Amino acid sequence: MRFAFLFAAALATPLPAVAESLVVHAESAPDEKAIVATVEPAHELTARARIGGTIASLSVKEGDRVTAGQEIAVIADEKLVLQRQALDSRIQSQQSQRDKAKADYDRAVELQKRGVGTQVQVDATKTALDVADRTLSAMGSDRGVLLQQMKEGATLAPGAGRVLKTPVTEGSVVLPGETIATIAEDHYILRLQLPERHARFMRAGDVVHIGERGSAAGGASKEGKVRIVYPEIQGGRVIADVEAPDVGDYFVGERTRVTVSTGERQSIVIPRAYVYRRAGVDYAKLKDGAEVVIQLGSGNEKSVEILAGLEDGDEVVTP
């Protein structure tokens, strides 16, 4: 009776689980580097003064959106107004002289027809009329140049975008070529700066992973593509631009986390079932029963990368 009871108890007791083994191997994996990218406009436009003078009106401020050709400021130069008034007076005087020369020419022609005047008088008056006409025409051209200069007092936006800076105010005195406003083109990109040792790995068209906006260490949420890698290294850094979706509402200069590939490296990845933790330290158990301290890298719910502690060819078992 006792023997039957012990036999039944032995059958009811669960057998110990058999440990599974795995031989680890190092494989090539992309070597990814997390860096901080800066939001920049693809092109930064500058609206400059074409003439010197005083800012009579300024119709934009920082943050305003402008369209190509929109008037953003008017520069007034009082000297141009005085020059136009003086030129108008000279044109009126020259017009009177031209009218007199025309009347003299008509009189000389009429006298010649009556046999009173001579051909010399006709030629002289004709020459005076031609000189008066050409002088009047030259003055008209000078007035056109002056009016064009006055029109150039209107500073226009060179392209569509958002105003970043307006370093002048109404009443400021500006010189030709001085900046009136700086405009960020509507097209925004992410600008990366990597150490020069990564220059040989960066190529136009490479895919990068962009983190969540405002996250310091979050996972990648979307992809971008390298637009251009600049051929010049500045301060020991390679500069590249990345085309990224949905960055049009970012602030210029805002920073975001980007993960880029900088070549390949040897990596050991094992299932998480072979890793256990004790007293705050991660371990893996070898088939011979030895426990080794390991350092974990990136991973997911199923597998994890081993940065240190295991070597190629080691056989591990589940704890």
pTM equals 0.59
Q: Which residues of 263-300 are buried (b: 16+ CB within 10 A; e: fewer)?
A: eeeebbbbeeebbeeeeeebbbbeeeeeebebeeeeee
**β-bridge partners, 265:** 29
Residue 217 has what pLDDT?
Answer: 53
Residue 111 has what pLDDT?
Answer: 87
CA distances from 117 to 101, 128, 204, 276 (A): 16, 17, 86, 126
Residue 134 has what pLDDT?
Answer: 93
Q: pLDDT of 87-136, one tens digit each? A: 889 999 999 999 999 999 999 888 888 888 788 888 899 999 999 999 99
CA distances from 48 to 42, 90, 116, 167, 183 (A): 19, 33, 65, 11, 11
187 close to 41: Cβ distance less than 8 angstroms: yes
Residue 186 has what pLDDT?
Answer: 79
Q: Is the pLDDT of residue 248 over 90?
A: no
Q: Is the pLDDT of residue 10 over 70?
A: no
Tokens, residue 134? 């050409």
| CA-closest candidate to residue 229, choices 204, 264, 192 | 204
Average pLDDT over residues 194-215: 79
Residue 80 has what pLDDT?
Answer: 83
